[in-house]
Amino acid sequence: MLPWATPGHDELVEILIALDATDPPAGRVRVPGREEHEDTRFTGWLGLLRVLSELMGSPAPEGKEP
């Protein structure tokens, strides 16, 4: 584990975000080095947050399954 990292977060992750439009925000997100090499598309700020949560493996809040 890195000396400055918090418990449960023991590795660095690179996330690439490519914007295709800015109003509303739309684009693609990719995590280099993952087995799946395709981009995940999003539209809007909430869409970006949803994609980032899915890619990072954050569980959905109880009763809020997609």
Q: What is the pLDDT tens value at each position of the chain, 66 positions in all?
A: 455 556 665 677 788 999 999 999 999 998 887 777 788 999 999 999 999 888 887 555 666 555
CA proximity to 51, closest of 41, 61, 60, 36 = 41
Looking at the 3D structure of the chain, how many domains does it have? 1
Q: What pLDDT is stored for residue 39 in this prediction?
A: 87
Q: What pLDDT is stored for residue 32 in this prediction?
A: 84
45's torsion region: left (phi>0), alpha (psi -120 to 50) or beta?
Answer: alpha
Q: What pLDDT is stored for residue 57 in this prediction?
A: 76
39 lies in some domain: yes
11 lies in some domain: no
Distance separating alpha carbons of residues 34 and 2, to the nearest angstrom: 21
49 lies in some domain: yes
pTM for the predicted model, two decimal places: 0.64
Residue 25's domain spans which residues?
Answer: 16-56
Length of the chain equals 66
